[in-house]
Amino acid sequence: MGTQATGSPEGMRVLVVEDDRSIADSLVRGLRQAGYTAEGVRTGRAALAAPSSDAVLLDLGLPDIDGVDVCRRLRARSDVAIIAVTARGEEADRVVALDEGADDYLVKPFGLAELLARLRAVLRRRRPVGPEILRHGPLALDLRTHLVTVGGRPVALTPKEFGILECLAADPGRVMSRQQILERAWDAHWYGPTKVLDVHIAALRRKLGAPGLIETVYGHGFRLGAVQEYP
């Protein structure tokens, strides 16, 4: 699991579908200044032919294809975030666009700040969630129910123990420093002694009953190790 900040524009691609060149240019410019990778197209046909993006800002009043139809076709083939754009008064179009898979809508004229806020919100909602179950050898962690099993045997852990294990299992084999584990399993700003971690690790090892599963990497921290055998 990454630690990517939610709603960050870095690396996010936005396609602006707008036939009014001056509006399109200013939107593309504004999005780029905000850190997005933005491109503009002026027709529905070009929108459907464009490379895939993370979000589409879709004017519903296009010269060639009905914008609602473009929305439906984009949605049919991907889960791209779609914000429909309409002129004031076109309420019926907005409703249809939402029914056809748009995530949100904006009414012209709108400011860049509002667009950026809506965009952050739809991208946050669309951000794919990681796997619900982390597995490593005999170990399985259900992130939703917090059920942990070793070789199919349920293991009861405290919330802190679960947090430590989750941190290690998120990237098996990678050494996590004491500080990293404390920040993840305790809170973002742990300034206390890191010795407290050893107590929890010892308890965790005992409960898991799989020797070698949690390896100490001296001078660095801990990681999940390869497990040859387990009870």
**What are the tokens at 37?**
């990778």
97 vs 134, beta carbon nearer Ca ion: 97
> Minimal CB distance to Ca ion: which residue?
61
Minimum distance between the CB of residue 81 and Ca ion, rounded to whole angstroms? 20
Minimum distance between the CB of residue 107 and Ca ion, rounded to whole angstroms? 13
54 vs 90, beta carbon nearer Ca ion: 90
19 vs 54, beta carbon nearer Ca ion: 19
- What is the length of the chain? 231
Minimum distance between the CB of residue 91 and Ca ion, rounded to whole angstroms? 16
- For binding to Ca ion (CB under 5 A), which residues are involved? 19, 59, 61
174 by DSSP, 3-state: which? coil
Task: Determine contact, residues 207/155, Cβ cutoff 8 Å.
Answer: yes
Q: Which residues contact 28 (CB under 8 A, 6 or more apart)?
A: 16, 38, 39, 40
73 vs 108, beta carbon nearer Ca ion: 108
39 vs 59, beta carbon nearer Ca ion: 59
Closest CA to 205 of 119, 133, 139: 139
Task: Determine contact, residues 17/44, Cβ cutoff 8 Å.
Answer: yes
Residue with tokens 């490379």: 51
Q: How far apart (Å, rounded) are the C-alpha atoms in residues 98 and 133? A: 32
Closest CA to 168 of 202, 139, 144, 189: 139
Minimum distance between the CB of residue 12 and Ca ion, rounded to whole angstroms? 24
Minimum distance between the CB of residue 104 and Ca ion, rounded to whole angstroms? 18
